[in-house]
Chain A
């Protein structure tokens, strides 16, 4: 059974309190939020198994710091969707604004449309699949995890990258400092195949190129000062 929460009748605090309590109770329940009207901080801080479907578009920081919950936005998401996510799955049926999945530690962020700039900035273990394109400075200082882009990437992809893996099927406008194209080995094809399958993406791993850190900035060297 699905419980419906209407944001025209219930305020954000009450909606989040209900969802957070249900998540903590480990009850694996289904909720839907209607009339979201772009509200900020919706379904954030969920800490347990729970399925939430948002019937429309959201504002900033939807599903922020998610743990275990499955959140689906049947619309587009504002800035910072699934920021610092720890686990679980967040799916955006439309587009995502800037810094989607920022600093995320785990789980899957599945964006069916396009993502704007700084997608996956400082990611720390999250997996992000973008079915469309991503904007500039995506994966800036990304540490761990995988960013998969079925479309094109904007300027300065992977600038100052640590150990995150970036897979792009389309074109890359430019690579950021210390980011290089790398060999696609069998283990990478395997990782990619799994992620594409989980995200329901219509693409083959062999169509992608892999990008990663050249590791020249890992320890300060004056000969690389112009890269900083």
Chain B
């Protein structure tokens, strides 16, 4: 018997299966989704830019033969002891507690071998981290967990965290599963309870106060350490300008693809601006104040390759910082643990329930048995290799554009593949000499 013709079932774009699944999950559990990592949605990114390379109008350097320098000095404005790095790639702040001690050690080992710095995180400084990081930046966070003057003086630089790309304006809540005895002891908390972190610093309330706070930190550390101020990518022009006004030696600008240990998915995906959109306004603020290159700009949030590094530098950054990519380099989401990821309801490449402390890779956990899976020496070598590869890639591109230092990369070396990227990065749309908003058009 012939069937009556019917309209084919059609999924709603607005109410897709994944959206519906999240609605059902919220209805069942009564709690928003908490996860780690950065934004997973596609936003305009460095992939939407291309380098032009040299032909007639520019003269390239000989690949791998003619020198292309990569060294960068951070903190030249006020500090007696600026940070000298061999490469313009640093390791972003990630806490002990969120990460295992072995993971922190691996980051220290790898960064030191590559000639760059690592950064502490919420929860203070561990001996493993200080001992294996030749250059260590001490984060000064709203929670002040583990903050003490001894570690402040043992650090090579101080990073005042005002905002984070994954959650500008947001505090934190690390669920109790990872608050082990050691983590709790460092943070002055009872074992196993949720660690709540305030969204703003407890003892200052704006850039005028921050200026005085910085004076105190400098007085305590004999004006030796560079003071970084980290802001989330939200209002980069004004935040950068106010950070400079407050006395920053270095501004760290973290775009929305930047990661976090654990926060609400709705925050990660819906608050902040893409990294690509944040760099030029921040550089413009520095230029307007006559401080570009005097106050260094470190950009983070979704940096993955030497091309990303080169593009960030070309847009005006002095260095970049990597977090998620460094974790992947040392073994995060490695397919060799696929069966275990699936047992946790996830898959390699998508595992983000870091707050649960059951990371099969032994990185985002405090479980002693899981931690053993990460060999800090082998993982450190992987990070060293990855950092070296990124640096070589960045140098290769810089040479192709005719530059003998990666800092000589400039916006004129770039074009954009999309109108959005052209507007955000303020570089011409490919095949034109125009970008949206360009004066004179």
Contacts and interface: CB of A to CB of B under 8 A. Distances in A.
Interface of A: 12-13, 16-17, 20, 40-41, 44-45, 47, 59-61, 64-65, 67, 79-80, 83-84, 86, 99, 102-103, 105, 118, 121-122, 124-125, 140-141, 143-144, 160, 162-163, 217-220, 222, 225
Contacts of A80: 203-204, 213, 216
B355 to A, nearest CB: 11
A22 B165 CA distance: 43
Interface stretch (B194-202, B311-319, B371-379): B194-202
What's the dominant secondary structure at chain A's contact region?
A: loop
Contact of A13 (B29, B175, B202, B223): B223
Contacts of B216: 40-41, 44, 60-61, 64, 80, 83
Nearest to A102: B203
Contact of A84 (B147, B196, B209): B147
Given A80-B203, A86-B148, A125-B188, A218 B193 contact: yes
B149 A219 contact: no
Contacts of B213: 60-61, 80
Contact of A218 (B30, B148, B194, B221): B194
A44 B219 CA distance: 7
A140 B171 CA distance: 14
A84 B190 contact: no
B183 interface: no
Given A65-B152, A218-B193, A118 B188 contact: no
Contact of A144 (B149, B188, B223): B188
B190 A218 contact: yes
A219 B196 CA distance: 10
B31 A45 contact: no
11 contacts: A41-B212, A83-B216, A99-B204, A103-B202, A122-B198, A143-B187, A160-B196, A218-B176, A218-B190, A220-B175, A222-B29
A59 B173 CA distance: 33
B143 interface: yes
Nearest to A122: B202
Q: Which of A61, A141, A217 has the most CB of B within 10 A?
A: A61
Contacts of A64: 216, 220
B23 interface: no
B215 interface: yes
Nearest to B30: A222
Given A47-B149, A141-B198, 14 more contacts: A12-B219, A40-B216, A41-B215, A41-B219, A47-B150, A60-B216, A80-B204, A121-B203, A141-B196, A143-B189, A217-B196, A219-B175, A222-B29, A225-B30
B144 interface: yes
Contacts of A83: 203, 216
B274 to A, nearest CB: 29
Nearest to A39: B215
Interface in B158-208: 173, 175-176, 187-190, 192-194, 196, 198, 202-204
